[in-house]
Amino acid sequence: MPLSHLKFDNRLLAQLPADKETGNFCRSVESAAYSFVTPAASQNARLIAVSEEFAAQLGFTEQDINSEQFAQVMTGNELLEGMQPYSLCYGGHQFGQWAGQLGDGRAINLGELVTKNLGHQTLQLKGAGKTPYSRRADGMAVLRSSIREFLCSEAMFHLGIPTTRALSLCLTGEQVVRDVMYDGNPALEPCAVVCRVSPSFLRFGSFQLPASRGDEQLLQQLVEFSINSDYPHLLPANGEFNQQVYLNWFSEVCERTSDMIVAWMRVGFVHGVMNTDNMSILGETIDYGPYGWIDNFDLNWTPNTTDEQHKRYRFGGQAQISQWNLFQLANAIFPLIGEAEPLQRLLSDYGIHYKRKWCNMMAAKLGFKDYQGEGDLALFESLEKLLSTVETDMTIFYRLLAKIPNDLNTQTATGWLAILGPCYYSMLELNEQYLQEFTRWLRSYLLRVNIDGLKQEQRAEAMNKVNPNYVLRNYIAQQAIELAEQGDFSEIIKLQKILKKPYDQQPEHTSYARKRPDWARDKIGCSMLSCSS
């Protein structure tokens, strides 16, 4: 029978305490890391898309994927032997305010799949019905948000960015009412389920909630489970936990988090809702809600309309917010450490380490062999100011910059304009002052490039390995959604293929590398997104 060969080993369930109440109704869950819950039955499960290569790595065969059973399992209609569905209990700060208990409101973990090469991988269904943490919601997810999660998870992975994965995307046959922009215009939308995959779905908020309740026993159990399961290299030889082990764990969480944020900045990704309950303890990008990709470079841009006024989670603020979130995690684990100074030191170091990583990343984006100090930093900062002065497509700019000859004549703007022109949204914005300032910047840039002694072709090759040609532009995702809502899923499959090789030229798909068209500038789903899903 298909899928019967898969093996599950649910370590989290075995090692952490369960909610004693087994009914599926909303409640405060105390002294427990999770609640058992059964996915809602769906009328007409239908597989739309699957990440075939990832499925194979997980142990699924082609026969498995093509079976009717696969769609049934991936929507929660059928459980395999060893699956024990549950939802996690956690809290979190939302937009800077403590929100208390939150939990998996529409996510149901099926179990931990034992794989040959990827270790334990938790399969999680997003949109499979109500849980004890759904509050006033229905636990369902609509097709548009599910497509965005499915495509972006895999796009991020192929860009080389730490992320949860998306195994499958299925329709359920149900419809629910949603008000996309919270403006009093509700409408029926089709439901879908994404199967998300990660070694762990623990979040910062998983540790915050028991700490807020003074439940040090559960807090300690959670931290030690995380170390045992996902940071086993930190375990001491004698197997005994102590303050230093906990500090080493927190230090590595900080490192992984900063690596993730630097990677976001490299490709122009804006998460949109960096609440502490949306921060993975593994340093993976998680919870793809009102995210967006930078079209014209703008450090103040956020795709989330809920955040439009204060811009807490704007593109340029993501590093600062990640540090703030880590501060909340440090507060949560303080009872295990017993003193503030070592935690404060790690948090202070976070900014220093982030800046170093960011500088190294920018050096790579510009094709330098390495980062060489304050002179390079001045180049980075003056470039970002120039990119913000006029509407400049970030993705296209860096790809075109790689084409600039090392010996380009920079006495005038004529030479570089002929190469970089396509990255600008309006050539009319390029006034004489801008042309002079950018020409001066380019002159300094080329002087710095030539110090490295790389030929232009070598520099271009290096730059094109870190500067993608293809990202999941907001309007491209929206076009795929609109077709899918009409029953045409071909664009999803096509985007899957293109986004597997984001750094390649792929000349047959150049239309997907074009900058945002004018019609998408103020279109819902392209420049404005909400948490409605």
Residues that are catalytic: 277
The amino acid that residue 420 corresponds to is L
In this structure, is the dihedral angle defined by the CA atoms of residues 368, 373, 376 and 380, taken in order, positive or negative?
A: positive
CA–CA–CA angle 26, 32, 38 (5° rounding)? 50
Contact status, residue 328 vs residue 93, Cβ threshold 8 Å = yes
Question: What is the radius of gyration, based on Cα positions, of the chain?
Answer: 24
Retrieve residue 179's tokens.
């008000």
For 68, 105, 303, the CA distances from 77, given in Å and listed in that order, are: 11, 18, 34
Query: What residue has token string 């529409």?
Result: 106
Q: Of 206, 205, 249, which is closest to residue 230 (Cα–Cα)?
A: 249
In this structure, the strands spanning 34-36 and 86-88 are antiparallel
CB of 249 within 8 A of CB of 225?
A: no
The tokens describing 69, both together, are 């059973």
Q: Got the DSSP string for 230-286?
A: H-GGGS-TT----HHHHHHHHHHHHHHHHHHHHHHHHHTEE-S---GGG-BTTS-B-
Residue of 400, 373, 387 lying closest to 316 (CA atoms): 387
Q: Contact 533/494 with Cβ under 8 angstroms? A: no
Three-state SS across 407-471? CCCCCCCHHHHHHHHHHECCHHHCCHHHHHHHHHHHHHHHHHHHHHCCCHHHHHHHHCCCCCCCC
Please answer whether residues 473 and 295 qualify as being in contact, where contact means their C-beta atoms are separated by less than 8 angstroms.
yes
> What is the Cα–Cα distance from 271 to 261, expressed in whole angstroms?
10
Q: In Å, how far are 41, 82, 427, 440, 452 from 444, measured between CA atoms?
A: 63, 62, 23, 6, 13
Question: Cα separation of 55 and 513, whole Å?
Answer: 28
CA atoms within 13 A on the CB side of 86: 26
List the beta bridge partners of residue 88: 34
Angle between helices 216-230 and 204-212 (to 10 degrees): 160
